[in-house]
Amino acid sequence: EVQLVESGGGLVQPGRSLRLSCAASGFTFDDYAMHWVRQAPGKGLEWVSGISWNSGSIGYADSVKGRFTISRDNAKNSLYLQMNSLRAEDTALYYCAKVVKLGDAYGAFDYWGQGTLVTVSS
């Protein structure tokens, strides 16, 4: 059974940093690209960042470029999101998600975690 479990969320002051983690199991992690998608309270889905299976292709939404860094450790079956210079508008539930097709860097997301909540407030 595929499982994605996010952690690392919490309450943080504006300008501070936070590192999210996503532990994956139930599939061959290093075969698939992984992404972060967020959802602000009461709002829609927003793609944040994605990373290919071998970290060779990485992308960021304009809203987080230069502040967030995605990475993965295939030996640990884990995905990460380093978030720096956090702003109030970064407040959201952050999901990690797995792409459907082996080898694709982008595309549809067939498995999602339950999310970790990040609240940026003073």
Partner 1 sequence: QSALTQPASVSGSPGQSITISCTGTSSDVGGYNYVSWYQQHPGKAPKLMIYEVSNRPSGVPDRFSGSKSGNTASLTISGLQAEDEADYYCSSYTSSSTPYVVFGGGTKLTVL
Binding window for partner 1 (CB under 8 A); candidates: 17-25, 68-76, 80-88, 98-106: 98-106
Residue 81's beta-bridge partner residues?
20, 70
Stretch that binds partner 1, among 7-15, 18-26, 80-88, 107-115 (CB under 8 A): 107-115
Residue 67 C-alpha from the chain's centroid: 14
Ordered DSSP codes for 101-113: STT-SSS-EEEE-
94, HSE (Cβ side, Cα atoms, 13 Å): 30
Specify burial of residue 37 (Cβ count, 10 A radius: 0-12, 13-18, 19+).
buried
Q: By CB under 8 A, is residue 105 in contact with partner 1?
A: yes
The yes or no reply on residue 100 touching partner 1 (CB under 8 A) is yes
- Enumerate residues 22-51 that contact partner 1 by CB under 8 A: 35, 37, 44-47, 50
Segment interacting with partner 1, rule: CB under 8 A, options 11-19, 66-74, 76-84, 110-118:
110-118
Q: Which residues bind partner 1 (CB under 8 A)?
A: 35, 37, 44-47, 50, 59-62, 65, 95, 100, 105-110, 112-115
